[in-house]
Amino acid sequence: MVFLSEEGATRKTLITGGAGFIGSHLAERLLERGDEVFIIDNLWTGSLNNIAKIQSHERLHLVVDTILNESVMNELIFKIDRIYHLAAAVGVRNVMDHPVETLDTNVKGSEVALRLANRFKKKIFIASTSEVYGKHVEHDLSEDDNRVMGTVKKRRWAYACSKTLDEFLALAYYDEKKLPVVIGRLFNTVGPRQTGQYGMVLPGFVQSALLGKPITVYGDGTQTRSFMHVNDVLNAITALMDTPAAEGEIYNVGNNQEVSINDLAQRVKEMTGSDSEIEHIPYEKAYGPGFEDMERRCPNISKLKAAIGFAPSYDLTSIIQSVIDYFKT
Strands 224-226 and 258-260: antiparallel
Rounded Cα distance, 219 and 137, in Å: 16
Split at pLDDT 50, 70, 90, the class of 236 is very high
Tell me: pLDDT of 285 over 90.
no
Asked which of 61-75, 166-180, 192-206, 294-308 is least confident by mean pLDDT, the reply is 192-206
Asked which of 65-74, 77-86, 131-140, 143-152 is least confident by mean pLDDT, the reply is 131-140
Q: For residue 269, is it within any domain?
A: no
**Mean pLDDT computed over 284-304:** 84
198 as an active site residue: the answer is no
Q: For residue 243, is it within any domain?
A: yes
Q: For residue 125, is it within any domain?
A: yes
Q: For residue 31, is it within any domain?
A: yes
The range of the structural domain enclosing residue 233 comes to 12-190+228-256+298-312
One-letter amino acid at 137 equals V
Question: Model-level pTM?
Answer: 0.93
Q: For residue 328, is it within any domain?
A: no
pLDDT tens digits, 312-325: 999 999 999 999 99
Tell me: pLDDT of 196 over 80.
no
> 68: domain CATH number?
3.40.50.720
User: Quick one: pLDDT at residue 99?
Assistant: 83
User: Quick one: pLDDT at residue 94?
Assistant: 72
Q: For residue 264, is it within any domain?
A: no
Rounded Cα distance, 267 and 239, in Å: 32
Q: For residue 7, is it within any domain?
A: no
State how many domains the chain has: 1
pLDDT tens digits, 7-54: 557 999 999 999 999 999 999 999 999 999 999 999 988 999 999 999
Tell me: pLDDT of 198 over 90.
no
For all residues of the chain together, what is the average pLDDT?
92
Tell me the C-alpha to C-alpha distance, in Å, between residue 94 and each of 14, 90, 190, 197, 329: 25, 6, 17, 9, 27
Residue (of 167, 164, 106) closest to 133 by Cα position: 164
Q: For residue 282, is it within any domain?
A: no
Tell me the C-alpha to C-alpha distance, in Å, between residue 139 and each of 27, 40, 66, 135, 166: 35, 38, 38, 11, 25
Q: Which residue has the higher pLDDT, 54 or 159?
A: 54
**Mean pLDDT computed over 96-110:** 87
**Mean pLDDT computed over 145-157:** 84
User: Quick one: pLDDT at residue 199?
Assistant: 67
Say which of 84, 159, 218, 251 is annotated catalytic.
159
User: Quick one: pLDDT at residue 159?
Assistant: 86
Split at pLDDT 50, 70, 90, the class of 141 is very high
Rounded Cα distance, 227 and 314, in Å: 10
User: Quick one: pLDDT at residue 136?
Assistant: 82
